[in-house]
């Protein structure tokens, strides 16, 4: 378990982290969200013991990060932002080096390195120098060093930043596999990642914890929660659509000519819309219900508008 109480970090110019408190249980995958400069990386650096807090306490699996730093750090695998590695080393040599730093020798070292290589599927590049790898493989090498000692806690700073969609998919799959029974904290600017990967979303803004809930609950704050979007094959009677009970607004999407019917808060409009389409005999090519738009929720919360 991770317990954070009243965590605060001040730099000369500003407060980067401002009185954060939370606990995280094994099995949780927590997404740190927030605009640039929100304090996500600073929080991660304090969680991993690389930066001392000004105030507050952090306990990692029962070990205090300031008083029992090494014991706490043994529980943690950390992928820093950008995943710096030694570029001129081969992947294999780098992982052996990390295993040695972690205190492994002989057969145990060999086994750890082999297991990490297998876990993040690095077999084909073991002999290659790190600087010649694609971004996706570099990130995987970063993940391999983070999981080598099989830590209970994984802290991953923007693990899919800059990757192409295939690589993103692969790294997310890896993280999901690694998450079983562990605590995983990732920071990300990619909102879809939160829905795809996380069991819990923590939105940090100006160093403060603004929201701490499931990704679904976060989506439900959207104006478009339960909205129905339809792509008609003919012009539809908008007034009729607008008059359906629970419909708050009808919006046209000029890019594809589809219509989005916004539901009033707490209303479910899909069945009534579906019925209306059937009754009127309208030809509709696509019809879908939205869970909500995370980018809109993110913007409204971090700009201070009501969500
Ligand atoms: N070593 C430092 N010295 C002074 N200020 C710092 C230092 N590290 C971070 N900051 C400041 O603290 C604030 C929080 O930075 P942090 O890197 O934690 O944000 P972030 O949420 O990770 O941002 P991003 O999404 O851009 O990575 C920023 O205003 C940053 O400029």
pLDDT score, position 247: 98
Confidence check: pLDDT of 304 > 70: no
Does the complex come out with an ipTM higher than 0.95? yes
Distance 41 CA to ligand 1 centre (A): 7
Percentage of the chain lying above the pLDDT 90 cut: 80
**Using 50, 70 and 90 to split pLDDT, how confident is the model at 79?**
very high
Cβ(16) to ligand 1 under 6 A?
yes
Confidence check: pLDDT of 14 > 50: yes
The phi, psi pair for 287, rounded to 5°, reads -150, 120
pLDDT score, position 306: 42
Rounded Cα–Cα distance for residues 117 and 119 (Å):
6
pLDDT score, position 154: 96
Report which of residues 83 and 202 the model is more confident about: 202
pLDDT digits (tens, 9 = 90+) for 38-47: 999 999 999 9
Percentage of the chain lying above the pLDDT 70 cut: 98
- Cα-Cα-Cα-Cα dihedral of 304, 202, 119, 89, to 10°? 60
Could you tell me if 269 and 252 are in contact, meaning their C-beta atoms sit under 8 angstroms apart? no
Across the beta sheet with 63-64, the strand order is: 15-24, 2-10, 55-60, 63-64
Distance 5 CA to ligand 1 centre (A): 20
Residue nearest ligand 1's atom 31 by CA: 37
Distance 209 CA to ligand 1 centre (A): 15
Residue nearest ligand 1's atom 16 by CA: 39
Confidence check: pLDDT of 307 > 50: no
Across the chain, mean pLDDT equals: 93
pLDDT digits (tens, 9 = 90+) for 154-175: 999 998 887 888 888 888 988 8
Average pLDDT of span 100-109: 95
Confidence check: pLDDT of 232 > 60: yes
Rounded Cα–Cα distance for residues 255 and 276 (Å):
25
Distance 239 CA to ligand 1 centre (A): 50
Q: Which residue of 20, 31, 41 sits with most ligand 1 atoms within 8 Å of its CB, as the best mutation to test the pocket?
A: 41
pLDDT score, position 166: 85
Rounded Cα–Cα distance for residues 121 and 137 (Å):
9
pLDDT digits (tens, 9 = 90+) for 269-297: 999 999 999 999 999 999 999 999 999 99
pLDDT score, position 110: 96
Q: What is the pTM of this model?
A: 0.90
Distance 40 CA to ligand 1 centre (A): 8
């Amino acid at each position: 378990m991770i317990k954070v109480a009243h965590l605060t970090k001040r730099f000369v110019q500003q407060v980067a982290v401002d009185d954060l408190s939370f606990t995280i249980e094994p099995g949780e995958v927590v997404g740190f969200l927030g605009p640039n400069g929100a304090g996500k990386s600073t929080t991660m650096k304090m969680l991993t013991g690389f930066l001392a807090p000004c105030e507050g306490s952090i306990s990692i699996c029962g070990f205090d990060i300031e008083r029992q730093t090494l014991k706490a750090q043994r529980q943690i695998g950390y992928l820093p932002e950008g995943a710096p590695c030694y570029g001129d080393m081969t992947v294999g040599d780098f992982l052996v080096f990390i295993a040695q730093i972690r205190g492994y020798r002989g057969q145990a070292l060999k086994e750890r390195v082999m297991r990490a290589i297998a876990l993040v599927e690095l077999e084909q590049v073991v002999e290659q120098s790190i600087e010649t790898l694609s971004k996706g493989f570099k990130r995987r090498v970063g993940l391999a060093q983070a999981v080598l000692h099989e830590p209970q806690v994984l802290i991953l700073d923007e693990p899919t930043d800059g990757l192409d969609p295939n690589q993103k998919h692969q790294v997310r799959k890896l993280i999901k596999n690694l998450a079983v029974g562990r605590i995983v904290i990732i920071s990300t600017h990619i909102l879809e990642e939160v829905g795809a990967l996380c069991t819990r979303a923590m939105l940090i803004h100006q160093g403060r914890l603004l929201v701490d809930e499931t990704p679904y609950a976060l989506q439900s704050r959207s104006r478009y929660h339960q909205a129905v979007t339809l792509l008609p094959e003919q012009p539809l009677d908008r007034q009729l659509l607008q008059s359906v009970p629970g419909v708050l607004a009808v919006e046209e999407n000029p890019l594809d000519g589809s219509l989005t019917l916004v539901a009033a808060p707490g209303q479910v409009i899909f069945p009534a819309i579906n019925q209306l389409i059937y009754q009127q005999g309208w030809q509709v090519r696509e019809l879908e219900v939205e869970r909500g738009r995370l980018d809109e929720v993110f913007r409204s919360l971090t700009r201070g508008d009501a969500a």
